[in-house]
């Protein structure tokens, strides 16, 4: 309903519109320029039209410049506020990121934190659901109770109003207004607290004649606008039915919730809409108090649940954490560490079992360590004790060997056999002494800057008689000409001599290729033969002690079986890699990779392990054994031009061409007493 409000200009103190400036006309009733007005005030003095126009034009001219100044000032303020906001965000975001990362790290590492936090989140979710349900049910019950009461009271009061109007005997307007006012005030129920409010409105568009002596009336300055339109329409279209709707109505400076119940009443032939509005503020306050109690009780309950969860999980997790700490100390070699056992529950039994296991392991490890020390001492003592008699026997064998031409054929052959076997025995004894030094941990490096290419040339010169005996040609490929490496030349000489002699022995008279290459931090030497090669099972054990490729363990070929084991230990002292590749019937390749500086690390070998002249699709079993500290398989870099399919190296490792591992390889690495990974397999 749109109501028109008439306003009187004089009553509101409005001035009549002014005449246009400079028009020369005056509004009616205005005092002439320079004269007194009717109220005695003095009007402004006379001013010519041109002067007034110039001042107004100057004011208009100043407006754009002032607007630009204010716009610039506003931009400066906005930029400063944006800078402050950005500074605050830059300072807050790192703290938030650090907090989130700390929580994430705590979540991953702490079972107790994860359990307590999960319990709290589930408790909060459960309480929120239950609290929302209870609050909704309480609110519905309070509302339904108040609605039932409002409908009952409205029926009674509307009947009273209608009876009063029907029995009224009034004819003048003042009597009608007084009667309506008194009747509605009685319905309102005024007292210390207003129980209900009313809105009394004549229905619009009534056709029968009526006396509109009472157009509308409401309590507390309410208007018909507080009644929902749907409720008014339902009341207007109905007969004697009663309707209700939720609404809000102003009381002072606040809006309160209420229930509006509408009916029709008639007075002097005029139909009126009577709405009684019931205040629900008391019920709302009661509901708010109940909700506050629920939230406070829920918060206290959640804190109690969190404390209980923390206490329970602490009792469960603490023994587990203690067991983890003790197990780490046992793994570090502190075999005397034990768990503290309290009580007789499951955790106490777990601690007792853990201590029993630790004691058993300590006893076994101690026995094994003692046995190992005894064995090492025995080998070392026997090797040292054998040196003196072996020297005497060797001197006698040399005398007999030099005089063999004076013997008969049988004694001559015996002298030759004695001489050769004593030489072999002396070589084996030297290897045993070297192994005993490695086992005792007394082997030390005597590193100095040496040209490894010259060292290889020296080894090749020493192996020339063996190459001539087997009919093999040794080819050296060293494009750089000279590579200086900080190394123990005696140990590297022994490694290279072992690799080259093995290549000549198993090369079947074919050429042996030796390649040298270097990078900024490493140098690599590969020894490639084209002989019988190695099967995967053989490559898995090629660095084992006393292992020989010949199943019959014939002594016509091969040495003592300690050469590659000693070479492995020498390589480990240099923090390098010693790796092997083989293909049955095609040949084998050994690669030695060393850091250029003592104590340096290697990330990639300068040379491929698998030879470039062997196609990946060639028949035969390709096998690789990798020995290096902490070896791990990594994919090859195709951009490097390395034909190896897989790299195996520590911390990003070398390119070794290693294929999938077999069951025999970890055992080979374990028997060597090193953390190297041994990998063999087939490549297609």
Last residue of a domain, one of 548, 580, 613: 613
pLDDT of residue 209: 52
Does 483 lie in the same domain as 437? no
Across the range 150-164, mean pLDDT stands at 90
Asked if 477 and 607 sit in the same domain, the reply is: yes
* pLDDT tops 70 at residue 627: no
Domain boundary among 390, 421, 443: 443
At residue 300, does pLDDT exceed 60?
Answer: yes
CA distance 528 to 517: 14
* 95 assigned to some structural domain: yes
The larger pLDDT score, comparing residue 89 to residue 601, is at: 601
CATH number reported for the structural domain that contains residue 546 in this entry: 3.30.565.10
Cα–Cα distance between 338 and 346 in angstroms, integer?
17
Whether residues 471 and 605 fall in one domain: yes
Q: E-strand spans in 254-343?
A: 254-267, 270-279
pLDDT score of 228 more than 90: yes
- pLDDT at residue 684, rounded to an integer: 27
Q: Do both 195 and 97 map to the same domain? A: no
Strand order across the beta sheet in which 270-279 lies: 216-218, 196-202, 270-279, 254-267, 243-251
Structural domains counted in the chain: 4
Segment 611-635 mean pLDDT: 40
Residue in 575, 629, 579, 572 with CA at minimum distance from that of residue 601: 575
pLDDT-derived band at 321 (thresholds 50, 70, 90) equals confident
pLDDT of residue 560: 57
User: 226 and 142 in one domain?
Assistant: yes
Q: Residue 234 sits in which domain range?
A: 132-291
Residue 588 · residue 582 · CB < 8 Å: yes
CB 520 within 8 A of CB 600: no
**CA R_g for the chain:** 54
Residue bearing the bigger pLDDT, 560 or 117: 117
Choice between 6 and 458, residue whose per-residue pLDDT is larger:
458
Higher pLDDT, 296 or 51: 296
Helix axes 489-506, 452-470, angle to 10 degrees: 30
The Cα–Cα gap between 455 and 453 comes to 5
* Contact status, residue 644 vs residue 616, Cβ threshold 8 Å: no
Model confidence at 62: pLDDT above 80? no
Mean pLDDT comparison of 128-137, 312-321, 340-349, 665-674, highest-scoring range: 128-137
Whether residues 424 and 456 share a domain: the answer is: no
Instruction: Pick the closest to residue 676 from 605, 627, 634 (CA basis).
Output: 627
Confidence band for 207, pLDDT divided at 50, 70 and 90: low
Query: What pLDDT score does 59 carry?
Result: 56
Task: Specify if 645 maps to a domain.
Answer: no
Residue 92's pLDDT is 82
- Does residue 351 contact residue 323 with C-beta atoms inside 8 Å? yes
Q: What is the pLDDT of residue 230?
A: 92
Q: How far apart are CA 654 and CA 647, in angstroms?
A: 5
Average pLDDT of the chain to the nearest whole number: 75
Please tell me the predicted confidence (pLDDT) of residue 56.
Answer: 52
Question: Which of 291, 314, 345 marks a domain boundary?
Answer: 291
pLDDT at 682 > cutoff 60:
no
Least confident of 178-192, 475-489, 653-667: 653-667
Residue 216 located in a structural domain = yes
Q: Is the pLDDT confidence value at 616 over 90?
A: no
Whether residues 155 and 238 fall in one domain? yes
* Domain CATH for 407: 1.10.287.130
DSSP letter at 42 equals: B
Q: How far apart are CA 303 and CA 306, in angstroms?
A: 5
- pLDDT at 82 exceeding the cut of 50: yes
Q: Which two tokens stand for residue 366?
A: 């101690």
Are 437 and 506 members of one domain? no
Lowest mean pLDDT of 26-35, 225-234, 304-313, 505-514, name the range: 26-35
Asked if residue 666 belongs to a domain, the reply is no
Question: What is the average per-residue pLDDT within 397-417?
Answer: 86
Q: Coil, strand, or helix at residue 485?
A: strand
Residue 148 has pLDDT above 80, yes or no: yes
CA dihedral 14, 20, 26, 29 (to 10 degrees): -10
In a domain, 205, yes or no: yes
Instruction: Check residue 133 and give its pLDDT.
Output: 92
The confidence band for 430, taking pLDDT boundaries of 50, 70 and 90, is confident
C-alpha to C-alpha distance for 161 and 395, rounded to whole angstroms = 145
pLDDT, position 307: 92
pLDDT, residue 202, reads 86
- Among 259-273, 470-484, 498-512, 643-657, the range scoring the smallest mean pLDDT is 643-657
Q: Which residue has the tokens 């309410």?
A: 222
Vertex 115 angle, CA 110 and 119, to 5°: 150
Q: In the chain, count H helices and then E strands.
A: 12, 15
**pLDDT > 90 in the chain, percent:** 14
Q: Please indicate, yes or no, whether residues 499 and 521 belong to a single structural domain of this protein.
A: yes
Residue 378, classed as helix, strand or coil, is helix
Please report whether residue 459 resides in a domain: yes
Of the given ranges (195-209, 223-237, 418-432, 552-566), which has the lowest mean pLDDT?
A: 552-566
Per the CB < 8 A criterion, the answer to whether 175 and 165 are in contact is no
Amino acid 533: pLDDT: 83
Q: Would you say the C-alpha torsion 558, 561, 563, 564 has a positive or negative sign? A: positive
Between 641 and 142, the more confident residue is: 142
pLDDT of residue 296: 92
More confident residue, 634 or 443: 443
Q: Counting Cβ atoms within 10 Å, is residue 393 exposed (0-12), middle (13-18) or buried (19+)?
A: middle
| 215, 180: one domain | yes
Average pLDDT over residues 283-306: 90
CA distances from 435 to 162, 438, 442, 445, 499 (A): 122, 5, 10, 15, 18
User: What's the pLDDT at 559?
Assistant: 54
**pLDDT value at 606 more than 80:** yes
In the chain, the percentage of residues whose pLDDT exceeds 70 is 75
Check residues 35 and 278 and name the one with the higher pLDDT.
Answer: 278
Measured distance CA(295)–CA(271) in Å, rounded:
50
β-strands 512-518, 474-477 pairing: parallel
In a domain, 200, yes or no: yes
Among 279, 203, 220, which Cα is nearest to 247's? 279
Pair (417, 507) in one structural domain: no
Question: What mean pLDDT comes out for the span 569-595?
Answer: 87
- Model pLDDT, residue 85: 84
Q: Does residue 481 have a pLDDT over 80?
A: yes
Same domain, 138 and 208: yes
Cα–Cα distance for residue pair 179/169, rounded to 1 Å: 10
CATH number at residue 269: 3.30.450.20
pLDDT at 613 over 70: no
In a domain, 345, yes or no: no
Q: Which of 200-209, 515-524, 609-618 has the highest mean pLDDT?
A: 515-524
Q: What is the pLDDT of residue 580?
A: 87
Which of the two residues, 305 and 71, has the higher pLDDT score? 305
């Amino acid at each position: 309903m749109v109501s028109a409000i008439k306003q009187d200009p004089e009553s509101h103190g409005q001035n009549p519109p002014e005449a246009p400036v400079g028009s020369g006309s005056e509004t009616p009733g205005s005092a002439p320029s320079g004269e007194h007005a009717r109220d005695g005030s003095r009007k402004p003095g006379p001013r010519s039209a041109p002067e007034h126009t110039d001042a107004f034009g100057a004011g208009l001219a100043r407006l754009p410049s002032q607007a630009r100044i204010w716009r610039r000032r506003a931009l400066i303020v906005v930029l400063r506020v944006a800078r402050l906001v950005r500074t605050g965000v830059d300072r807050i975001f790192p703290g938030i990121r650090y907090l989130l990362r700390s929580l994430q790290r705590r979540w991953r590492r702490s079972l107790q934190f994860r359990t307590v936090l999960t319990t709290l989140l589930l408790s909060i979710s459960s309480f929120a659901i239950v609290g929302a349900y209870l609050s909704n049910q309480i609110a519905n019950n309070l509302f339904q109770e108040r609605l039932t009461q409002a409908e009952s009271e409205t029926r009674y009061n509307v009947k009273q109003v209608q009876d009063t109007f029907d029995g009224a005997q009034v004819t003048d307007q003042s009597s009608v207004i007084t009667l309506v006012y008194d009747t509605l005030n009685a319905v309102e129920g005024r007292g210390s607290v207003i129980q209900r409010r009313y809105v009394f409105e004549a229905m619009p568009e009534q056709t029968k004649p009526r006396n509109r002596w009472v157009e509308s009336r409401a309590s507390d300055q309410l208007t018909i606008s507080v009644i929902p339109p749907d409720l008014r329409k339902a009341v207007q279209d109905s007969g004697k039915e009663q309707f209700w709707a939720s609404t809000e109505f102003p009381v002072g400076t606040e809006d309160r919730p209420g229930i509006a119940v509408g009916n029709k009443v008639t007075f002097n032939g005029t139909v009126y809409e009577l709405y009684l509005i019931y205040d629900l503020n008391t019920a709302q306050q009661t509901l708010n108090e109940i909700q506050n109690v629920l939230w406070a009780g829920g918060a206290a309950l959640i804190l109690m649940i969190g404390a209980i969860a923390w206490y329970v999980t602490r009792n469960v997790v603490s023994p587990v954490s203690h067991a983890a700490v003790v197990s780490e100390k046992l793994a570090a070699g502190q075999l005397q560490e034990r768990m503290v056992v309290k009580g007789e529950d499951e955790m106490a039994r777990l601690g007792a079992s853990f201590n029993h296991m630790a004691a058993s392991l300590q006893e076994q490890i101690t026995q094994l360590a003692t046995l190992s020390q005894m064995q090492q001492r025995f080998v070392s003592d026997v090797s040292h004790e054998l040196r003196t008699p072996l020297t005497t026997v060797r001197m006698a064998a040399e005398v007999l060997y030099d005089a063999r031409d004076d013997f008969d054929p049988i004694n001559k052959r015996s002298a030759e056999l004695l001489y050769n076997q004593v030489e072999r025995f002396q070589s084996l004894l030297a290897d045993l002494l070297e192994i005993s030094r490695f086992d005792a941990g007394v082997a030390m490096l005597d590193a100095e800057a040496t040209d490894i290419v010259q060292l290889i040339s020296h080894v090749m010169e020493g192996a020339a008689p063996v190459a001539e005996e087997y009919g093999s040609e040794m080819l050296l490929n060293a494009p750089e000409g000279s590579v200086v490496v900080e190394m123990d030349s005696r140990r590297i000489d022994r490694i290279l001599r072992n690799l080259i002699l093995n290549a000549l022995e198993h090369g079947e008279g074919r050429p042996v290729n030796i390649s040298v290459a270097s990078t900024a931090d490493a140098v690599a030497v590969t020894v490639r033969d084209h002989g019988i090669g190695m099967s995967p099972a053989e490559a898995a054990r090629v660095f084992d002690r006393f292992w020989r490729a010949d199943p019959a363990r014939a002594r016509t070929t091969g040495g003592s079986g300690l050469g590659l084991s000693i070479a492995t230990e020498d390589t480990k002292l240099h923090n390098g890699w010693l790796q092997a590749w083989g293909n049955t019937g095609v040949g084998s390749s050994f690669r030695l990779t060393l850091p250029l500086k003592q104590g340096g690390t290697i990330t990639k070998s300068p040379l491929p392990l698998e030879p470039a002249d062997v196609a990946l699709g060639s028949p035969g079993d390709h096998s690789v054994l990798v020995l290096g500290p902490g070896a791990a398989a990594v994919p090859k870099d195709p951009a490097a031009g390395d034909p190896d399919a897989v790299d195996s190296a520590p911390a990003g490792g070398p390119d070794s061409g290693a294929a999938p591992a077999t069951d025999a390889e970890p055992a080979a690495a374990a028997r060597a007493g090193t953390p190297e990974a041994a990998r063999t397999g087939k490549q297609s």
